Amino acid sequence: MSNAQLKGAGLWADAWRSLRRNRAAMVALYLMMTVVVLVLAAPLLSPFSIDSTDWDQISIAPSLSTQHYFGTDDVGRDLFIRTLYGGRISLMVGLVATLVSLIIGIAWGATAGYVGGRTDQFMMRIVDVLYAMPFMFFVILLMVFFGRNIFMIFIAVGAINWLDMARIVRGQTLSLKKKEFVEAARAGGVSSFNIVRRHIVPNLLGIVVVYVTLTIPQVILVESFLSFLGLGVQEPMTSWGALVNDGAQAMESAPWALIFPAVFLALTLFCFNFVGDGLRDALDPRDRQERS
């Protein structure tokens, strides 16, 4: 194993040890893992399907005897299984849209920062123009224009959310391209593409990991807001945002229809943010110097 690999392995091991000492981040991580397991194991935890209706048990309260653990909605559908399946959609939107924003943002920011000059100015002016557009309006416009389906939610949210990542990566790249190892690679005849791919991008992984944990809850919240407006997923699929919208309309007669999906949504958002804060502290080079 090379010295660079050993150093990288030591950095991540040190970051993990630091994260483990952060109790709030670790509790949030375990809670988040529990939510993910529940969401993935949904079919094994309930005898009902997401779209099955029971007209004899409309808007009943949570009960263990009826196996409707979170109660039912206004058409007799089990809210427990719908909440777990809604979590699948919300988490999937968060992960896929964040991945789309990462791919675009890293490629755009690294290219602009490394090439520099007029290319950098032109690329970042495009980012500035897109920043001037209202974020939510642009997302809604894309969805209305291309159609309201789950795939377009991924693309619409991810295609807008890359702007912050592009600026962050550009700033880091401007600093990294002046480092000795980049100068040595350039002097050795390594192409610009390979320098960016092998030397610049790997050194951005720390900040990228933190960005992911902070962006996923933001994307989930955007999807939830779109679903609340009726522009999100369509029946029979659902998401936490759609369930919160339905629960808000029935809050007086069936408060459980709002409480359970709202709790899952809020808990997941808090967990991602606490883990993101913990990773940011663990990967902060100044904190690593103090610990060493």
Q: How many CB atoms lie within 10 A of CB 227?
A: 26
Q: What are phi and psi of 189, to 5 degrees?
A: 90, 15
Residue 125 lies in a domain: yes
Q: With bands split at pLDDT 50, 70 and 90, how would you rate the model's confidence at 10?
A: low
**Over residues 226-243, mean pLDDT:** 78
The dihedral sign for the CA sequence 142, 145, 146, 149: positive
Percent of the chain whose pLDDT exceeds 90: 13
Q: Is the pLDDT of residue 26 over 50?
A: yes
Percent of the chain whose pLDDT exceeds 70: 89
Q: Is the pLDDT of residue 193 over 90?
A: no
Q: Is the pLDDT of residue 134 over 80?
A: no
Q: Is the pLDDT of residue 133 over 80?
A: no
Q: Is the pLDDT of residue 256 over 80?
A: yes
Q: With bands split at pLDDT 50, 70 and 90, how would you rate the model's confidence at 146?
A: low
Residue among 226, 216, 127 at smallest CA distance from 168: 127
**Over residues 266-285, mean pLDDT:** 81
Higher-confidence residue of 281 and 6: namely 281
The dihedral sign for the CA sequence 59, 61, 62, 68: negative
Q: With bands split at pLDDT 50, 70 and 90, how would you rate the model's confidence at 80?
A: very high
**Strand runs (DSSP E) across 76-157, as ranges?**
none
Count of domains observed in the chain: 1
CATH code for position 155: 1.10.3720.10
Contact 127, 167 (CB under 8 A): yes
Q: How many CB atoms lie within 10 A of CB 286?
A: 8
Residue 86 lies in a domain: yes
Contact 242, 90 (CB under 8 A): no
Residue 122 lies in a domain: yes
Q: With bands split at pLDDT 50, 70 and 90, how would you rate the model's confidence at 39?
A: very high
- Residue 83 confidence (pLDDT): 93
Residue 199 lies in a domain: yes
Most confident region among 91-105, 156-170, 211-225, 275-289 by mean pLDDT: 91-105
Residue 3 lies in a domain: no
- Residue 30 confidence (pLDDT): 94
Q: How many angstroms separate the CA atoms of 114 and 174, rounded?
A: 6
Element (H, E) at 268: helix 256-282
Residue 69 lies in a domain: no
Q: Is the pLDDT of residue 35 over 90?
A: yes
**Over residues 246-253, mean pLDDT:** 82
Residue 214: which residues within 8 A CB-CB, separation 6 or more? Answer: 272, 273, 276
Range of the domain at 97: 13-41+82-291
**Over residues 274-279, mean pLDDT:** 84
**Over residues 149-177, mean pLDDT:** 80
Q: Is the pLDDT of residue 37 over 90?
A: yes
- Residue 4 confidence (pLDDT): 45
